[in-house]
Chain A
Amino acid sequence: MGSDQLLFVGFGALALLGALAVVAQPNPVYSVIALIVSFFGLSGLYVLLESPFVAVVQIIIYAGAIMVLFLFVVMLLNATREDGSEWDRAHPYYRPGPMRLGAVLAVLFGVQMIWALTRTVGLGVGVGETRPAVESVRDVGRVLFTDYMFAFEVTSILILAAMVGAVVLARRREE
């Protein structure tokens, strides 16, 4: 096992275990932190894929900004545990069914995806064996602001709509 494989296994395990920890325990604070851990794993994988800029953005923006926002809301609402078992008891006959079904489906879906991917021809090739990587931030920037210029502009409307929306939804209402 070369160092590449070792790093892949390490970061992959970090990402997977982090994700598992998000969904496997009930405390939202731990979930947010576990997700940040998972993002570090992903970030490492991006480095392995010779995409350093994505890796940096993943940490700075995603883990650093978005996840902090989540953490902030969790703390704001003081919702550090799953509450409302009373609500579960209120609907005894339909609550567990879809949940168990959903969990089973998730496993099934994972199996399906893996099966589909392993049956696809041509995926066994090592990543980056055939073509050189585009690593430089300059290249990324050039393509982003030429080919994807319009999409970039559209995101400004997207973010504006989200901002207005968040304000409308969350502000205290004076009647």
Chain B
Amino acid sequence: MIPLSYYLVLSGALFAIGTAGVFLRRNIITLLLSVEIMLNAVNLTFVAFGRQQGVVDGQIITFFVMTVAAAEAAVGLGLVIALFRGRESLNPEAFTALKW
């Protein structure tokens, strides 16, 4: 049997990779993908905990998280299109009109 901590550490590593992506990449779409990685890391945690406790809640929460991820993706991609239309660029650094 695989210890629970393995799953948790794996999901922690995935979450950290997701956060790193926000800083490493210079493309808004990849930034959104990084957030998706973070949400999936959390999903793994939920399912692992749920399995450990023998309850179904972990799995069900995962479905809700997927729904939220889908909703965020829809709005996020809508924004990406609107942004691209305005400036012909997907570099987050291109959008710094508001500052200080």
Contact = CB atoms under 8 A, between A and B. Distances in A.
A and B touch in the complex (CB under 8 A): yes
Interface residues of A, number: 94
A165 B60 contact: no
For the complex of A and B, the 8 pairs showing the least CB-CB separation, nearest first, are: A131-B54, A126-B1, A102-B23, A110-B16, A84-B91, A23-B21, A106-B20, A162-B71
A22 B1 contact: no
Contacts of A28: 27, 29-30, 33
A59 B33 CA distance: 16
A77 B59 CA distance: 35
A19 B81 contact: no
B2 A127 contact: yes
A70 B77 contact: yes
B27 A155 contact: no
A47 B94 CA distance: 42
A130 B54 contact: yes
Given A26-B27, A83-B91, A159-B67, A46 B47 contact: yes
Given A23-B25, A28-B27, A79 B1 contact: no
Given A19-B37, A113-B15, 11 more contacts: A19-B18, A42-B43, A49-B51, A79-B90, A83-B91, A84-B89, A109-B16, A113-B9, A125-B3, A155-B67, A169-B79
A3 to B, nearest CB: 11
Contacts of B2: 4-5, 8, 48, 126-127
- Chain A interface SS verdict (over half): helix
17 contacts: A22-B37, A23-B17, A23-B30, A53-B59, A57-B66, A69-B73, A73-B81, A79-B29, A82-B91, A88-B93, A91-B96, A106-B20, A110-B12, A133-B51, A140-B59, A155-B67, A165-B75
- Chain B interface SS verdict (over half): helix
Most chain A CB within 10 A, of B30, B55, B73, is at B30
B27 A66 contact: no
B38 to A, nearest CB: 10
B64 to A, nearest CB: 6
B5 A123 contact: yes
A1 B68 CA distance: 38
